Structure formats: C-alpha cells, structure tokens
C-alpha cells in the first residue's frame, strides 16, 4: 500500500511517537486523522502535517470510551470518504511494583492503577481496531492496522499493568491478522524499546547513561526510526501478524 493520498488514523497523534509518525506520513503524502485528548496539541500537530501539503484533521476522543470511538470513526469516514490505515499508538504508564515493603509498611499496586492502563492500552486498541476494521469492510477498501506494543510485553519489573496490556496487544495482533486477512486487512505490531521522547530525554544524565549502557547499540531509538518501521509495514503488502522489534538489540 503506497501512502500517497491514503487516509491514516493515528491515536495519541498529538505528541511523542504519534506526532512523529503523523509528520513522517505527511511527508509521504498521506492524509492524517489525528486522535487525542488535548485540542491545543492536536491543532499544533495538524498544522505541522498541513505544512507538508496534505489534508489533516483532529478528533478529540478517548480511545477507552466505546461511544466516542464509534463516533470518531464514523466522522473520519464521512470527512475523508475512506479509511486505509490505523495506528493504535495512544498509551499511558502507571508504573509501580505489585507489592512494596518499606520501613515495615506494605504498599500495593491499586486496582485503579491496573484498570487505567488496561482501559487505554488494551481496551482502547480493541475498540479502535474493531470499529476501523468494520468501516474498512463496509467501505470495501481493505487496509492495514498497526498496534504499538512494547518490549515490556515480555514482563518488566514495575509494569504489571503495562506489560499485561502490551502482551495482550501483541496476541490480539496475531488473532486479528488471521481473522481479517479475508477482508484484505493486514494487522501488525511494533514493539519499541527505549525511544527518545520528552520524558526519556528529561531523565537525569546518570540514569540515561545506565539505561543506554544495557542497549547493544548504546543509544535510545529515535521517533523517526519508529515512524520508518510503521511506513515499512504499511508499504509492504506481505507483512501481517508479526511484531517488529525496535529496541537496538535490548531484551527485557
């Protein structure tokens, strides 16, 4: 699938990896539907895409809310007349140990901490994929869906909730690739390692050094390298049902 003139929805598209992918795809001539929670940041991301000469629109939508997702997908289809691609990128972190004992006091990961991450990072991916795939079938134009997982899906200390959600996303990716192939829809994933974002760049130099020293390539990934992988998946019509590892060789 060539990206020129294709309509791509990116959730969490107003900052970080989502915005980087939006600008990268705009550079390839794609039309962007950016989904997020902050109108001001969405406006800035849409403007950056338009500056590259493509059509771009913003959609305020909580991906964990079924009604909002259904409404958003219908609006994108009405506004653009087609949907060819979706990147399920929106995600949150609520890290913490399952149990922690300090000075004789025990604290636990709360149910709210668990549920918030499952709602956005797993249920949100389910809802967006279901609605977009249904619309692709209805419009009979096929397409491709990319789910952003994480190397944490293998299990990572302090990330019970996040690891479970990202493992769920990886398993669902394989399931949907098998189920949706008959409709001309490919589904694949990307599992990034540590990527340079505002948050990671804001870390103390010692902590950054400690983190990157364990990565064989001795550096974090760049957002454009994730965008490049997403473009590869869209453009390669034989890629489906697999998770592309983008971690510089790091294994958690």
Ligand X SMILES: CC(C)c1ccc(C(=O)O)c(O)c1O
Ligand Y SMILES: NC(=O)C1=CN([C@@H]2O[C@H](COP(=O)(O)OP(=O)(O)OC[C@H]3O[C@@H](n4cnc5c(N)ncnc54)[C@H](O)[C@@H]3O)[C@@H](O)[C@H]2O)C=CC1
**Contact set for ligand X, span 80-109 (CB under 6 A):** 93
Task: Indicate which of ligand Y, ligand X, none lies near residue 143 (CB less than 5 to 8 Å, by partner kind).
Answer: none
Determine if 168 is a binding residue for ligand Y (CB under 6 A).
Answer: no
* Residues whose CB falls within 8 Å of the CB of residue 144, separated by 6 or more in sequence, listed in order: 1, 84, 85, 86, 185, 186, 187, 188, 233, 234
DSSP annotation of 86 reads E
Using CB under 6 A as the criterion, what x/- string covers residues 175-194 for binding ligand Y? -----------------x-x
Q: Which two tokens stand for residue 98?
A: 């399952």
State the alpha helices, DSSP H only, in 150-204: 160-180, 198-201
Q: Which of 7, 9, 22, 36 binds ligand Y (CB under 6 A)?
A: 36
- Cα–Cα distances (Å) from 235 to 108, 145, 230, in that order, read 45, 12, 9
**Contact set for ligand Y, span 82-111 (CB under 6 A):** 89-92
Q: How far is the CB of 150 from ligand X (least distance, A)?
A: 3
Distance CA 89, CA 36 (A): 10
Determine if 62 is a binding residue for ligand Y (CB under 6 A).
Answer: yes
Determine if 197 is a binding residue for ligand X (CB under 6 A).
Answer: yes
**Residues that contact ligand Y, how many (by CB under 6 A):** 27
Task: Indicate which of ligand X, ligand Y, none lies near residue 156 (CB less than 5 to 8 Å, by partner kind).
Answer: ligand X
Instruction: Indicate the SS3 state at residue 7.
Output: strand
**Contact set for ligand X, span 146-165 (CB under 6 A):** 150-152, 156
Q: Which of 10, 18, 34, 77 binds ligand Y (CB under 6 A)?
A: 18
Identify whether the C-beta of residue 25 lies closer than 8 Å to the C-beta of residue 86: no
Q: Which of 3, 7, 10, 17 binds ligand Y (CB under 6 A)?
A: 17
- Cα–Cα distances (Å) from 214 to 6, 43, 84, 152, 155, in that order, read 39, 38, 38, 15, 17
State the residues that interact with ligand X by CB under 6 A: 93, 150-152, 156, 193-194, 197, 199-200
Give the interface with ligand Y as residue ranges (CB under 6 A).
11-12, 14-18, 35-38, 62-64, 89-92, 120, 124, 148, 150, 192, 194-195, 197, 200
């Amino acid at each position: 699938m060539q990206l020129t003139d294709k309509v791509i929805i990116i959730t969490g598209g107003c900052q970080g990896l989502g915005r980087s992918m939006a600008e990268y795809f705009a550079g390839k001539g794609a039309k962007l539907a950016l989904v997020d929670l902050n109108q001001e940041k969405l406006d800035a991301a849409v403007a950056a895409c338009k500056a590259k000469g493509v059509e771009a629109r913003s959609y305020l939508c909580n991906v964990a809310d079924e009604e909002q997702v259904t409404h958003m997908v219908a609006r994108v289809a009405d506004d653009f007349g087609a949907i060819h691609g979706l990147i399920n990128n929106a995600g949150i972190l609520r890290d913490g140990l399952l149990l922690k004992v300090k000075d004789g006091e025990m604290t636990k990961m709360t149910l709210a901490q668990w549920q918030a991450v499952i709602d956005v990072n797993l249920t949100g991916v389910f809802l967006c994929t279901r609605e977009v795939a249904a619309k692709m079938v209805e419009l009979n134009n096929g397409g491709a869906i990319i789910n952003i997982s994480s190397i944490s899906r293998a299990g990572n200390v302090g990330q019970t909730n996040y690891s479970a959600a990202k493992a769920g996303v990886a398993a669902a990716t394989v399931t949907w690739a098998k189920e949706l192939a008959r409709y001309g829809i490919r589904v694949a994933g990307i599992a990034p390692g540590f990527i340079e974002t505002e948050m990671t760049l804001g870390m103390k130099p010692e902590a950054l050094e400690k983190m990157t020293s364990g990565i064989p390539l001795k550096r974090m990934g760049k957002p454009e390298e994730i965008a490049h992988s997403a473009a590869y998946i869209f453009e390669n019509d034989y890629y489906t049902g697999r998770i592309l590892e983008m971690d510089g060789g790091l294994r958690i």
